[in-house]
Amino acid sequence: MPGIAYAFARARDDFPETTIVLQDIDAPSLDLQLRLTRSILASRGAGGLRVEASAERPPAIDGADFVLTSFRPGGFPARHLDESIAIAHGIVGQETAGPGGFAMALRSIPIVMDVAGEIRKVAAPGCLLLNYTNPVQVVTEAVTRYEPDVPFLGLCDQTAGEVGFLARLLGVDPRDVEIDTSGTNHMTFTRAVRANGRDVTERVWDRLDGIRREELEDDYWWRVVRLFRVLRVIPSGYMEYFFFHDEVLTEMRAAGRTRAEEVMEQLPEVLESYRREADGSDPHPVMVRASDQHGDFAVSIMSVANAAREGRFILNVRNGGAVTDLPEDAAVEVPCRLMGRLAQPIAQGPLPAIVAGLVRQVAEHARLTAEAAVTGDLEIAVRAMVAHPLVRSVATAERLVDAYLEAHAAHLPQFARVANRPP
């Protein structure tokens, strides 16, 4: 939320007579963020933006022009289970890729669907639902299929990280870089790069071919470079979970703790800084768990939509033919022309042949996972797990589904009515 608050402060001129309503089921956290958000806005000359809070969703959504969702059902302890259960079965544990993403989707989607239903009932006409909740691809699948009348955009700033990386390679401002990219969330492939309106793709390709490991800060970007040299397009960094699966799994096991446990160790310091800065005249909270980039992306979309301007953003939307070798109704991540509140996907053509089958398989996994999350159908849940390319055994898929349904039973009421699968 601090990153969102800073972004609203910078964009305050685009939001005259605006009220921001925060909603959370955790009352102390809600009060803390209310005070901190007000202080951030006031300290940066945006005190005219009103900030309120509500413990309940319908009052928060009532009359809203935009709803931004970002939450984690079960908190970081649930994420720890998502990751550790996958690792115990010999598969990378990550909250958007593979079994971990499947488990989070089962918890996230019913809540987002409830939000969409409430938007239809009480929000302002044309209210736009912006979703940051993971896994973004699967949540996008669910809302666009089962609440198609609710205007919806899936948000992920992973491509902003890629743009920043490319800008550093080129020695230019990231705001001057534009990419043509396509695929599904965390499975995108960039085939063209422009800087200041000029095509610099060949220059980027030459730079990636010549760069040395010691020039990069970590293995994440070195794996992107190594994959580029094989695929001849720039892959999302998350492709390391597919093409370097065994190395990443070994690293996760060697770490001796999950990413969720690492974050939980950071939280006391972060929350203490929020409490310390919440009522200050010039707050500077620790930003380990916040991001200006994250906030600017969401708020810039609202700015364009609110002012009925036009902008270009990379968004998660219904395909509609933008990626020719994925189903028209699949959720894709592509550049879009945002005109007011209407997002028009920009045609990207076919995926690179070397990865097209992999992306299609993950898209089918996302479709089945969304259906399982909405319906609570155990058979479809197992089918969804089998469909994921990292799960290479029906028996493993069945064991994973059973483990997640047992671990997260309190957060999966849609499955409560389903009898256990016979042996």
The amino acid occupying position 212 is R
SS (HEC) of 354-402:
HHHHHHHHHHHHHHHHHHHHHHCCHHHHHHHHHHCCCCCCHHHHHHHHH
pLDDT tens per residue, range 388-409: 999 999 999 999 999 999 999 9
Average pLDDT estimate for 351-377: 97
Q: Could you give the C-alpha distances from 141 to 9, 218, 364, in angstroms and in order?
A: 32, 33, 10
Q: Could you give the C-alpha distances from 349 to 98, 108, 278, 333, in angstroms and in order?
A: 26, 31, 48, 13
Give residue 417's pLDDT: 57
pLDDT tens per residue, range 40-84: 999 999 999 999 999 999 999 999 999 999 999 999 999 999 999
For residue 289, what pLDDT band results from cuts at 50, 70 and 90? confident
Q: Is the pLDDT of residue 418 over 80?
A: no
What are the extents of the domains in the chain?
2-154+264-311+323-334
List the structure tokens of 169: 């390679």
Q: Is the pLDDT of residue 416 over 90?
A: no
pTM of the model: 0.95
Average pLDDT estimate for 181-196: 97
According to DSSP, the residues that pair with 315 across neighbouring strands are 334
Give the DSSP H/E element, type plus range, for residue 228.
Answer: helix 219-231
Look at the block and give the residue holding tokens 């997260």.
408
Measured over the CA atoms of residue 200, residue 202, residue 205 and residue 207, the dihedral's sign is negative
Give residue 402's pLDDT: 97
Mean pLDDT of the chain: 95
Average pLDDT estimate for 337-345: 94
Provide φ and ψ at 302, rounded to 5°: -65, -35
Give the DSSP H/E element, type plus range, for residue 332.
Answer: strand 331-339
For residue 291, what pLDDT band results from cuts at 50, 70 and 90? confident
List the structure tokens of 301: 């979309």
Give residue 218's pLDDT: 87
List the structure tokens of 348: 């990207």
Q: What is the DSSP letter of 248?
A: H
pLDDT tens per residue, range 149-168: 999 999 998 999 999 999 99
Percentage with pLDDT > 70 across the chain: 98
Q: What is the DSSP letter of 237?
A: G
Residues 2-154+264-311+323-334, CATH architecture? 3-Layer(aba) Sandwich (3.40)
Average pLDDT estimate for 92-118: 96
Of the candidates 297, 260, 343, which has an alpha carbon nearest to the alpha carbon of residue 87?
260
Average pLDDT estimate for 362-386: 98
Cα 97 from Cα 103, distance rounded (Å)? 10
For residue 198, what pLDDT band results from cuts at 50, 70 and 90? very high
Provide φ and ψ at 145, rounded to 5°: -85, -40
CB atoms within 10 A of CB 15: 18
Q: What is the DSSP letter of 422?
A: P
Q: Is the pLDDT of residue 140 over 90?
A: yes
List the structure tokens of 386: 């089998």
pLDDT tens per residue, range 305-323: 988 889 999 999 999 999 9
For residue 419, what pLDDT band results from cuts at 50, 70 and 90? very low
Contact predicate 350/324, CB 8 Å = yes
